[in-house]
Amino acid sequence: MVLVALLWALCFPLIVIGNPDAPPPLLFAALRALLAGAILVALASLCGKWRWPRPGEIGKLTLIGLSFTAIGFGGMFLGAGKLASGIATVLANVQPLIAAILAVWFLKEVLSRQILCGLMIGFVGVVVLALPGFDYTAGRLEGAFYVLVGALGTAVGNILLKRRSKDGDIWIPMGFQLMIGAVFLFGGSLVMGEEWEIRWSWNFAGTLFALSVPATALMVVLWYALLSRAPLTKLNSITFLTPAFGLLIGVLLLDERFSPIELAGVAITLLGLALIIWPGGSYKAPDRGGH
């Protein structure tokens, strides 16, 4: 779980690092998804697990590719350059709260008061953590809209992933949904009139590889495997650690320093996670009359 949050935390720094040489945002997101999906399908083929998606899977994988990959990645890339980092972090971390509400409706997960309290405390921790990065003059409504739509897409995608997570086959379905999402992103890039001119450089190629392989291909495989073993809301709460890992990456790679406010945000976030993970916050399975 922690590794997934760490891999997710790599995304925003890598997008920023790749910006000087990167193509327009939706084209960049499409290249990321396409490369990640192709790698997963290639690995499945090398391991003798190649197969075409079953007829009943195509519609489900298309919906996952549209929500989790196309809308989720698209919102992240479009919003990254239009919002201050603090605002983007807070808005992106609305996703676990949206997913928790959807999980009650569509997955019949029953939330205890302890878990709900933990989610709210975790989100407050993220807000405190992001306070030093708030720039009230730079925040734009358009950027906020993109990040929120991306968070909604990721939440819906997580619900759809959870519903089919009992299927033990990971590589081919995840590879195809990423490539389907890439098709939607390429289409969105065309509709928005983005220029398809890529200035290849070692900086951009390295960033694209890091975004596609560890931060996407590995992350989605691990995430899908975890979804088959635990309730979505408990797993999703770990994403509250993403901004904390982002700060840690800044300390290690960019020689940044934690401020007292950021340390307080980390402490509050960990308190919220402790409430969620603590045994008393476990889920109660709905009574289905023995069925």
Q: What is the pLDDT of residue 100?
A: 87
286 domain residue, yes or no = no
288 domain residue, yes or no = no
What Rg, from alpha-carbon coordinates, does the chain have? Answer: 19
Q: What is the pLDDT of residue 68?
A: 97
42 contacts: CB under 8 Å, gap ≥ 6: none
* Whole-number Å distance between alpha carbons of 215 and 133: 23
List the domain range (segments joined by +) for residue 201.
Answer: 2-281
Q: What is the pLDDT of residue 84?
A: 61
Q: In whole numbers, what is the pLDDT of the chain averaged over residues?
A: 83
Nearest to 250 by CA among 135, 121, 85: 85
Span 68-117, pLDDT tens digits: 999 999 998 998 777 666 567 677 778 888 888 898 889 888 777 888 88
Q: What is the mean pLDDT of residues 285-290?
A: 43
pTM of the model: 0.84
Highest mean pLDDT among 34-43, 163-172, 237-246: 34-43
171 domain residue, yes or no = yes
Span 112-162, pLDDT tens digits: 788 888 888 988 887 887 777 666 555 567 877 898 899 999 999 999 999
Contact 278, 114 (CB under 8 A): yes
pLDDT at 31 over 60: yes
> Based on the structure, what is the number of domains in the chain?
1
290 domain residue, yes or no = no
Q: What is the pLDDT of residue 272?
A: 82
Q: What is the pLDDT of residue 219?
A: 94
Q: What is the pLDDT of residue 287?
A: 44
* Whole-number Å distance between alpha carbons of 73 and 153: 9
User: pLDDT band for position 45 (50/70/90)?
Assistant: very high
66 domain residue, yes or no = yes
Q: What is the pLDDT of residue 284?
A: 45
Chain centroid to CA 47: how far?
Answer: 27
272 domain residue, yes or no = yes
State the virtual CA torsion across 1, 32, 251, 147 in degrees, nearest 10: -80
pLDDT at 63 over 80: yes
pLDDT at 17 over 80: no
State the virtual CA torsion across 3, 160, 14, 213 in degrees, nearest 10: 70
289 domain residue, yes or no = no
pLDDT at 209 over 60: yes
Q: What is the mean pLDDT of residues 192-210?
A: 89
